[in-house]
């Protein structure tokens, strides 16, 4: 019920916000038209029939006063001057609360033939005045964007700090020598947040490099990085730094319940949003401060990972400091061996699948939402079957679930050694409501996916020619590796550790004896076993020995990014920051179009109404300041798009006025009609194309 009310509230915020941006745009046109002496029949908020209207001389009325005004006008002789006490302008609140419009005498964008020779008509105004009227909507949106940004920066906006938390192997950042923990103090000489850094990479030109100024443990260095186009957008292959504070970006009851479940799975039961891990095995974790000292001190997940690796797999005791009062408490976390990652595809979406030398763990349930639990799923359940897929890994399990979106899927899970059959409902996004994770608590091996992506720096270690493919005959999906040489193995971590021990003194390669138990869940039958010999080469041994340790699930899904607060020191600085950010958004919007024409950005990366609304929902959940920030960006973008030299848009109308000013007469109506029709076809076609991709993204 609470989530439903939150959805309604978010919808109201976004609808009202979008409406405000459009109304302010139209208000700019209206104010300029009144200044230019152009008669305005109506200024309306919303579309459709009027709920209420107000007209000077007639007052507030239910519905529109236009029929009454027309009758009065006809009786008085037909001219507004005959009714000096009654305004020709009606102010309306219409029933569809999205945007608004101003109706001027003799001006209709989609009907150039709608002209008037009256002295107070649009056509009768001088060309330079009409240019101001046409431009006023864009100017109003720029002013609105600046005002909203000013409010945002006066209050303060939290954004991920420009600290590198992850460098993707073989990416441009990796090749340039960037390291986790590096603080980016400037990009091309300008201070930027992490979001700004991503935008700078995305907006870079072909063969263009970014000059990054880095603070590395107090030493300033400059690094040149050339972004590469990946998934339609240039990138350098980095992620922001994850801190040690439990994320507070959870606003729904279901999200909070899922976070609590994920924390319990990790071993941090009792931790809450805002709580921070402050020590490991009794040793305080270091506190860091950004070079510009604009943020409070922070702790880094990198330091905890270093402490975890020092345990060599032994349990680690972490101390958690509650966010609001209360005494610190200690929890024990069990490290697991880290995985290698390879690239696969799920419905044309690139996806990382964890493995070690090609051995892939079975998929299990990580954090489970209340909806998933209500269907019988519990955290820790291991999937035996999902639809027609037996013993799925994460990739095959996700693909099977997505193939049943909007329907139910039959499943079998292992729980405490028992096989349980379930029928699970899949929503229209292809989700059941749990986090799919590798079942490292099981020694069973999933099937190697047969759909592979091309090599690239995002997932450089593809599942091609991996060591497990040299194991013949191939492992039957669901087979359990119960022994490596003479070492019994009960979990996936046991398997990897036994392989490491067996090869620790043989760097040039080794022959490994595996005892494999075939999948057989039939009651009363003893599982069959097979013995295999697996040849591991020197490169395989090196990859095994290089694996570190991690806490499964302890990542950005439960811990927040290290953030800094972007806040003005006073009203004047807030004003300056507001206009600076508006200018930058406008320039970036123009640059986006330039990169689209250059082919640096894919057209399907654009967002239409559906995508913008979905993004707006996300911002709405984060609070009113983020809503204002989002609307400021929308307003600035609307100013740019509206003034592009496209038919129907204000920019197209402005060009026609330039034509009229140069030639001394307007373009022929036939030409204007052709331009309007071409513009309508172009805009509708682009709208349908972008909306299609928005819906595809929204549905997963």
Over residues 654-698, the pLDDT tens digits come to 888 888 788 877 777 666 667 666 665 665 555 555 444 444 444
As a whole-number percent, the residues of the chain with pLDDT over 90 amount to 23
Q: How many residues does the chain have?
A: 700
Kindly list the distances between the CA atom of residue 324 and the CA atoms of 272, 274, 321, 401, in Å, as whole numbers in the listed order: 10, 8, 9, 40
CA 148 to chain centre: 22
Rounded Cα–Cα distance for residues 415 and 388 (Å): 20
362-550 maps to which CATH number?
2.30.42.10
Say if residue 240's pLDDT is above 80: yes
Kindly state the average pLDDT of the residues 634-663.
80
Say if residue 146's pLDDT is above 80: yes
Please report the pLDDT score of residue 110 as a whole number: 59
Rounded Cα–Cα distance for residues 115 and 675 (Å): 17
Stretch(es) of the chain classified as CATH 2.30.42.10: 159-240, 362-550
Q: Is 76 helix (H, G, I), strand (E, B) or coil?
A: helix
Contacts 24+ apart (CB under 8 A), 463-468: 463/342, 463/344, 463/353, 463/355, 463/358, 466/342, 466/355, 466/357, 466/358, 467/357, 467/358, 467/534, 467/536, 467/537, 467/540, 468/357, 468/358, 468/359
Kindly list the distances between the CA atom of residue 261 and the CA atoms of 244, 381, 426, 466, in Å, as whole numbers in the listed order: 18, 13, 20, 35
Say if residue 464's pLDDT is above 90: no
If pLDDT is split at 50, 70 and 90, which confidence band does 604 have?
Answer: low
Rounded Cα–Cα distance for residues 175 and 181 (Å): 16
Kindly list the distances between the CA atom of residue 272 and the CA atoms of 175, 245, 289, in Å, as whole numbers in the listed order: 39, 9, 24
> 2-35 vs 253-266: helix axis angle to the nearest 10?
130
Compare 417 and 281 and report the one with higher pLDDT.
281
- Structurally, at CATH architecture level, domain 243-337+554-561 sits in Roll (2.30)
Compare 205 and 381 and report the one with higher pLDDT.
381
Rounded Cα–Cα distance for residues 315 and 140 (Å): 60
Compare 372 and 117 and report the one with higher pLDDT.
372
Among 284, 264, 242, smallest CA distance to 332 is for 264
Kindly list the distances between the CA atom of residue 694 and the CA atoms of 11, 354, 630, 691, in Å, as whole numbers in the listed order: 18, 29, 18, 5
If pLDDT is split at 50, 70 and 90, which confidence band does 700 have?
Answer: very low
DSSP assignment of 10-35 equals HHHHHHHHHHHHHHHHHHHHHHHHHH
Among 622, 595, 621, 620, smallest CA distance to 606 is for 595
- Structurally, at CATH architecture level, domain 159-240 sits in Roll (2.30)
Q: Is 647 helix (H, G, I), strand (E, B) or coil?
A: coil
Over residues 293-345, the pLDDT tens digits come to 555 688 999 999 999 999 888 999 999 999 887 889 999 999 988 888 776 66
If pLDDT is split at 50, 70 and 90, which confidence band does 461 have?
Answer: very low
Q: Is 427 helix (H, G, I), strand (E, B) or coil?
A: coil
Among 694, 681, 700, smallest CA distance to 608 is for 694
If pLDDT is split at 50, 70 and 90, which confidence band does 43 have?
Answer: very high
Kindly list the distances between the CA atom of residue 147 and the CA atoms of 120, 140, 432, 514, 572, in Å, as whole numbers in the listed order: 33, 10, 42, 68, 12
Task: Give the range with max mean pLDDT: 188-202, 273-287, 587-601, 617-631.
Answer: 273-287
Question: What residues does 158 pair with on adjacent strands?
Answer: 565
Q: Is the sign of the CA dihedral 327, 332, 338, 339 positive or negative? A: negative
Among 92, 81, 3, smallest CA distance to 44 is for 92
Max CA distance (Å), the chain: 107
Task: Give the range with max mean pLDDT: 197-211, 247-261, 352-366, 515-529.
Answer: 352-366
Kindly state the average pLDDT of the residues 373-400.
89
Cβ–Cβ under 8 Å, residues 653 and 134: yes
**Model's pTM, two decimal places?**
0.75
Rounded Cα–Cα distance for residues 352 and 438 (Å): 12
Q: Is 1 helix (H, G, I), strand (E, B) or coil?
A: coil
Please report the pLDDT score of residue 151 as a whole number: 92
Please report the pLDDT score of residue 111 as a whole number: 61
Kindly state the average pLDDT of the residues 256-274.
87
Report the mean per-residue pLDDT for the chain. Answer: 82
Compare 201 and 273 and report the one with higher pLDDT.
273
Among 33, 37, 29, smallest CA distance to 118 is for 37
Q: Residue 304 burial (CB < 10 Å; 0-12/13-18/19+)?
A: buried
If pLDDT is split at 50, 70 and 90, which confidence band does 232 have?
Answer: low
């Amino acid at each position: 019920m609470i989530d439903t009310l939150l959805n309604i509230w978010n919808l109201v915020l976004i609808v009202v916000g979008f409406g405000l941006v459009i109304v302010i745009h139209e208000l700019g046109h209206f104010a300029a038209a009144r200044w230019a002496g152009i008669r305005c029949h109506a200024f309306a908020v919303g579309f459709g029939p009027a709920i209420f209207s107000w007209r000077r001389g007639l007052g507030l009325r239910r519905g529109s006063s236009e029929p009454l005004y027309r009758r009065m006008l006809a009786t008085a002789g037909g001219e507004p001057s005959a009714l000096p006490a009654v305004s020709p302008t009606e102010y309306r609140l219409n029933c569809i609360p999205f945007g608004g419009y101003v109706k001027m005498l003799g001006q209709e964008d989609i009907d150039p033939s709608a002209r008037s020779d009256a002295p107070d008509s649009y056509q009768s105004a001088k060309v330079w005045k009409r240019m101001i009227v046409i431009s006023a909507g864009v100017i109003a949106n720029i002013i609105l964007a600046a005002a909203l940004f000013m409010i945002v920066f006066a209050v303060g906006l939290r954004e991920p700090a420009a600290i590198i938390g992850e460098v993707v192997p073989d990416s441009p950042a990796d090749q340039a020598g960037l390291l986790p923990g590096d603080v980016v103090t400037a990009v091309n000489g300008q201070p930027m947040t992490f979001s700004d850094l991503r935008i700078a990479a995305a907006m870079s030109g072909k063969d263009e490099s970014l000059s990054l100024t880095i603070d590395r443990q107090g030493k300033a260095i400059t690094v040149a990085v050339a972004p590469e186009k990946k998934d339609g957008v240039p990138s350098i292959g980095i992620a922001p730094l994850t801190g040690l504070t439990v994320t507070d970006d959870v606003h729904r009851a279901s999200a909070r319940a899922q976070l609590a479940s994920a924390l319990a799975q990790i071993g941090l039961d009792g931790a809450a949003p805002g709580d921070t891990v402050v020590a490991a095995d009794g040793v305080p974790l270091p506190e860091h401060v950004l070079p510009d000292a604009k943020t409070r001190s922070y702790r880094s997940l990198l330091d905890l990972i270093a402490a975890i690796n020092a345990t060599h797999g032994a349990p680690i005791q972490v101390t958690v400091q509650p966010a609001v009062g209360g005494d610190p408490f200690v929890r024990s976390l069990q490290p697991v061996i880290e995985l290698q990652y390879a690239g696969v595809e799920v419905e044309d979406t690139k996806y990382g699948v964890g493995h070690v030398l090609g051995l892939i763990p079975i998929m299990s349930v990580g954090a489970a939402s209340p909806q998933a639990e209500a269907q019988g799923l519990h955290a820790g359940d291991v999937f035996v079957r999902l639809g027609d897929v037996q013993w799925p890994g994460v990739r095959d399990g996700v693909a099977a679930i997505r193939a049943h979106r909007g329907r139910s899927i039959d499943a079998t899970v292992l729980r405490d050694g028992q096989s349980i059959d379930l029928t699970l409902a899949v929503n229209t996004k292809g989700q059941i409501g749990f986090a799919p994770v590798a079942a490292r608590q099981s020694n069973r091996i999933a099937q190697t996916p047969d759909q592979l992506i091309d090599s690239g720096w995002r997932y450089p270690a593809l599942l091609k020619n991996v060591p497990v493919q040299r194991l013949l005959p191939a492992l039957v999906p669901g087979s359990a590796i119960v022994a490596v040489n003479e070492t019994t193995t009960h979990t996936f971590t046991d398997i990897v550790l036994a392989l490491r021990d067996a090869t620790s003194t043989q760097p040039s390669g080794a022959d490994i004896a595996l005892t494999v138990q075939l999948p057989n869940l039939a009651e009363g039958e003893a599982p069959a076993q097979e013995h295999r010999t697996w040849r591991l080469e020197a490169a395989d041994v090196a990859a095994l020995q290089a694996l570190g340790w991690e806490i499964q699930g302890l990542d950005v899904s439960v811990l927040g990014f290290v953030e800094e607060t972007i806040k003005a020191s006073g009203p004047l600085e807030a004003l300056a920051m507001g206009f600076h950010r508006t200018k930058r958004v406008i320039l970036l919007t123009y640059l986006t179009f330039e990169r689209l024409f250059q082919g640096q950005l894919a057209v399907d990366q654009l967002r239409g109404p559906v995508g913008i609304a979905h993004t707006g929902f996300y911002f709405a959940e984060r609070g009113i300041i983020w809503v204002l920030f989002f609307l400021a960006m929308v307003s600035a973008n609307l100013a740019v798009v509206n003034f592009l030299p496209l038919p129907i848009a204000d920019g197209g109308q402005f060009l026609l006025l330039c034509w009229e000013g140069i030639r001394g007469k307007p373009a022929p109506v036939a030409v204007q009609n052709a331009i309007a029709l071409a513009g309508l076809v172009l805009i509708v076609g682009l709208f349908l194309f972008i909306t299609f991709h928005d819906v595809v993204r929204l549905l997963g």
